[in-house]
Amino acid sequence: MASSSDYFKLHFIVFLWGFSAILGKLVTVPAVELVFYRSIFAAIGMAGVIAATRGSFRVSSADLGYMLLIGFIVALHWLTFFGSARVANVSVSLVGFATNSLWAALLEPWFNKTRLKKYELVLGLVVLLGLYIIFSFDFQYKWGLFLGVVAGFTSALFSVFNSRLVKRVAPRSITFYEMIGVFISTGLFLPIYQFAGGTEELHLIPSGMDLFYIAVLAGVCSVYAYTVAVELMKRVSVFMIQLTLNLEPVYGIIMAVIIFGQEEKMNVNFYIGTVIILSAVAFYPLLKKRFDKTVLID
């Protein structure tokens, strides 16, 4: 059962992930190369933590293959998330990502063979309403918002898989092998990306500041935050984690406006849709307390 300290940790790592979009925007290398470097830095950092704490790298071959596959999903999540910020801006990327609660409400019952909770679905539909309001007006960042929505879907997907995996594999081992999966997936994608995108050369030599930002992304937002999130999945539902992640736009947008200024200013319809999306966060604990208790009494 989740404790108050678990929810504090959850909100803290959500704050860190909100800052990750800003770090990704500050890095000058393209999104694919960014993910490539972030993943290998994170894998090396996690390996150091496991070695320092005398943990074990040993996992079954079946679990290894499963984690490498999840790493592919994480790679797709990061590519669409950072790609959205590049195509549009940080605010659009974070709002599209906020659809993760809707995807979690649909995916978690399906994979875990449990009953779909109506209030979770309703809250997910509230997210869709917010997106509709944003899309229904003359919105110039539709491609960026679409990539953000894909980032939200993949976030919910790998969270569901990890919530099952963490029951038998240590969170640090999960993070280590999934980061290797991200590195392999992105490395295999680089030549395809270069050919399909018409890129003459890949940006594989980051500047000193790029390396610093990527190192912070890998160490703080991946090694620490990702491991804590996986560990919390033992006690906190995937939907609650994904819904709390909807606060990421709040933290991220505020920081983005402070750092990037006018570039992050949007029209009023964007903010109306954003408020509707984020309102689901405030209502979830109340609805969960009421309806889940009713189910237990019945």
Choice between 159 and 195, residue whose per-residue pLDDT is larger: 159
pLDDT in tens, 245-273: 767 777 777 777 777 777 666 778 778 88
The two structure tokens encoding residue 282? 């405030």
Q: What is the CA radius of gyration of the chain?
A: 19
Choice between 176 and 24, residue whose per-residue pLDDT is larger: 176
Cβ neighbours of residue 241 under 8 Å, at least 6 residues apart?
10, 104, 159, 229, 232, 233
Angle, CA 24 vertex, CA 22 and CA 27 arms, to 5°: 110
pLDDT in tens, 152-188: 999 999 989 998 898 899 989 999 999 999 999 999 9
CA–CA dist 127, 232 (Å, integer): 24
CA–CA dist 66, 75 (Å, integer): 14
Identify the weakest region by mean pLDDT among 8-12, 162-166, 175-179, 287-291: 287-291
CB atoms closer than 10 angstroms to residue 52? 8
pTM of the model: 0.80
